[in-house]
Copies of this chain bind each other. A is one copy, B any other.
Amino acid sequence: MVFLKTFFLGSQVEKRKEMQIEKKWREGIAQAEAEDEDLESAAKSMTPHMFCKTLTASDTSTHGGFSVPRRAAEDCFPPLDYKQQRPSQELVAKDLHGTEWKFRHIYRGQPRRHLLTTGWSAFVNKKKLVSGDAVLFLRGGDGELRLGIRRAAQIKTGATILPPSSQLFKASSVAAVVNAISTRSTFDICYNPRCSGLIVGVSDVDPTRWPGSKWKCLLVRWDDMEVNRLNRVSPWEIELSGSVSGPNSFVLPGTKRSRVGFPASKSDLPNGNEVSDFGEPLRFQKVLQGQEVFAYSTPYVGAEASRPHPSDMRCYPGLSGPRIRSGGNIIRHLHADAHNSVERTVLGEPFQFHKVLQGQETVSILSYGRGPEANQGNRWPTMNPPVHNVNPHPSPSLVPSQFTPLHYGNQNKLEASNQVQSQMAFPHRPVGTQPFFRDNQNFVSMCKNSCRLFGFPLTEGKVALGIGENPTVSASAYSHESNNSLPCNEEQMYQPPLMPKVMVSSCTKVRDMHSVRDRLLDIAL
């Protein structure tokens, strides 16, 4: 609420300020170019450009293709030969999963406009994009074209029911991240790949071993499976996607919501084999509860954490800081220094989005650095169509130290039911060791100007709710909080091998947890 207000009040002012900042950046870049002409070619080839467009009805209709904003096409796509009557080329873009998507890019119509025609509808269909979703294109430094999608919140039929406290909790959860950033400690981004399905029932978790246990799992019929297979799913892995509907909906008398199942913060499970009251190692409790989801972080990041590069030491206090964990897959360790985290794990080189990406904006990704990796150009590297990835590489997971794609996202408004999700792949090259911020002062000023969450700066005003608070709040609990139909009391927290006792309404649309990731990534952007 306070978020929203601040955002709207400050948006105009912020916009002006951002433009000034951008201007300053460009001047700085020009200066840098002048200073070191030799590095220009190398630098410009590493300059990423991207745009994000919210899809219109026409974009997603089968009737036509995708209307590319002019500026976006010029920024991110290889230049067309405008001397031709109908300039066109084939674009090849890779998504997060390494899948290549081919589009026919044509410049036609009266007045002329950029369009993606052939191949676009296939993309829309495969990704199941609908009007309101967003597509992101990123032109990598070497000419690789990446694309991602960001789905709009799915408000289904029926009234949107949300727990009254969810908004508040979001604020505190976000505040924890803000705090983590302010202290530049480490946190984890946790997520699951997007899946959606229908809760069709409740089931024993393991009738063989623990028959009749009051701890239940949900039966979920996943969408888009080859067959509509039923799956057992831990309620803690679930995020409501919108309304709670159906005649059988019910909510148990509310109990104090608390962290259950997954360890909520590092303080809960320091790092030993503490034995619980049940004589079993605590660290296996979440496994015992049958909710194991494989951790998923790259060797690259792990190596980074264990032996940080000297030049990065100052910015990376290590793993002793506050940690945010969700119940989902641990995808990546992001260092709370948002900018360095972007530098290190998103692009692997110094760069910074100069503002929060919003729908329908073209963004030049600029760099703060002055070293060889500094942004020194805005030009598309010379390249003839069709555009293929210059450095084709296998699935990102196979070459973690070379390319580390990262899910990221942003949202330009904070609504109770908003669950903006995104996916995007970034090229990730071997890390340059250039210090990113000369001192803490630079970081702070940077934050003031560019580090935003839901559209307003993180280090100013009422935003920084969590600064100074203990940021061990659980991102997992966040997802619990939105599950008002899944109460659980403290006593049930540590009762292996039982399962969390849950009650769930039937016919509730569910989604895997993503908002945690999105909110963390908002900061990174």
Interface residues of A (CB under 8 A from B): 95-97, 99, 127-128, 193-196, 200-201, 203-209, 211-212, 217, 219, 221, 223-232, 280-281, 283-284, 287-288, 290, 292, 294-299, 302, 330, 394-395, 397-398, 423, 506
Contacts and interface: CB of A to CB of B under 8 A. Distances in A.
A212 B299 contact: yes
B224 A226 contact: yes
A200 B394 contact: yes
Given A128-B226, A195-B226, 17 more contacts: A97-B228, A193-B230, A195-B229, A200-B395, A200-B398, A204-B299, A208-B295, A208-B297, A208-B330, A223-B226, A225-B225, A230-B395, A230-B397, A284-B287, A287-B290, A290-B294, A292-B292
Contacts of A294: 205-206, 217, 232, 290
Contacts of A330: 208
A328 to B, nearest CB: 13
Q: Lowest 5 CB-CB distances: which A-B pairs, in order?
A: A193-B229, A201-B398, A208-B295, A97-B228, A200-B395
B127 A219 contact: no
Contacts of A195: 225-226, 229
Nearest to A99: B228
Contacts of A193: 225, 227, 229-231
Contacts of A283: 209
A292 B295 contact: no
B299 A211 contact: yes
A258 to B, nearest CB: 23
Contact of A221 (B95, B97, B205, B206): B97
A96 B232 CA distance: 16
Contacts of A299: 204, 207, 211-212
A226 B397 CA distance: 19
Contact of A395 (B206, B219, B296, B302): B219
A394 B292 contact: no
B298 A226 contact: no
14 contacts: A97-B221, A127-B227, A195-B226, A200-B398, A201-B395, A201-B397, A219-B398, A224-B224, A280-B284, A284-B288, A287-B287, A287-B292, A292-B292, A394-B506
Nearest to A297: B207
Contacts of A207: 295-299, 302
A45 B462 CA distance: 71
B398 A226 contact: no
A188 B395 CA distance: 38
Contacts of A212: 299
Given A127-B226, A194-B229, A227-B127, A209 B394 contact: no
A99 B230 CA distance: 11
A392 B299 CA distance: 52
A97 B292 contact: no
A459 B256 CA distance: 61
Contacts of A227: 95-97, 127, 193-194, 423
